[in-house]
Amino acid sequence: MAALLDKDPEQGRALADSLDPRPVSFTDPSEFLAHEGLDIVVECASQVVVRELGVAILNSGRSLLLMSSGALLDQELFDALKAASVQFGGQIIVPSGAVGGIDALRAVQADLESVTIVSTKRPEALRGAPGFAEYEDREIVEPVTLFEGSAADAVKLFPANVNVAATVSLAGIGPHRTIVRVVADPAAPGNVHDIRATGGFGEFRFRLVNRPHPKNPRTSHLAVLAAIESLRALVNPGLRVGT
């Protein structure tokens, strides 16, 4: 039977109550890990949780689908997760999340020369991030570039905001060569991601204008749907296009 883990008992209970059939709800990671019948764990909590529980989940032979892909840019953690996956046979699955074009990036990976991603969000969507600290008490009335640099640095300054950049970098030319710009814009029409890739294959651009999830304004609706689609692809035999 399905189970969920949330360190906040209220959050866990509310989520469990909203699901049918109702999963068992845990607040203690070791009780959750001891629960039988779980083939795959979907992480949708934080990079910290991937660090704390990722290896233990894979060591228990389960697969791990993770949304907090920024955690994978920590090379030591990446190596430990990969080793556990190889040793115990569980997969590590990173959904395309709040972006698209991941399949195309992977396809041309060996032929890429540059990848840039510009993420534009409303200031309130960036609150609490270390990279937003100097703007917490200031009103932003026009677009402000908060950061421009590597994906590796971006995920440290915006750990809950630019997992998309991590995913793009993992599919493409890696966290040090992927250039990320984070823009706060009070007039942004949603969470906007502009991805541009160039190389011997030619060039492509993707622009996503994401609406927030109706139940969680911090998360793009597309990210949730992408996670569901990844699960669907895992369990459904038959025709698969683009993955």
167 binds ligand NAD (CB under 6 A): yes
Binding mask 199-218 for ligand NAD (x = CB under 6 A): -----------------x-x
CA neighbours within 13 Å on the CB side: how many for 49? Answer: 20
Beta bridge partners of 93: 65
d(C-alpha 180, C-alpha 90), whole Å: 31
How far the first Cα of the chain sits from its last, in Å, is 28
Q: How far is the CB of 140 from ligand NAD (least distance, A)?
A: 21
The catalytically annotated residue of 176, 193, 213, 221 is 193
Considering only residues 42, 180, 208, 223, which one is a binding residue for ligand NAD as defined by CB under 6 A?
A: 223
Dmax over Cα atoms in the chain, in whole Å?
53
Backbone conformation region of residue 141, classed left if phi is above 0, alpha if psi is from -120 to 50, else beta:
alpha
Residues 99-158 that bind ligand NAD (CB under 6 A): none
H/E stretch holding 192 reads strand 191-199
Considering only residues 7, 106, 205, 207, which one is a binding residue for ligand NAD as defined by CB under 6 A?
A: 7
Angle between helical axes of 47-59 and 75-88 (0-180°, round to 10)? 20
Residues 26-55 that bind ligand NAD (CB under 6 A): 44-49
Considering only residues 16, 38, 64, 67, which one is a binding residue for ligand NAD as defined by CB under 6 A?
A: 67
Q: What residues are labeled active site?
A: 193
**Site of interaction with ligand NAD (CB under 6 A):** 5-8, 11, 44-49, 67-69, 97-98, 160, 163-164, 167, 216, 218-220, 223
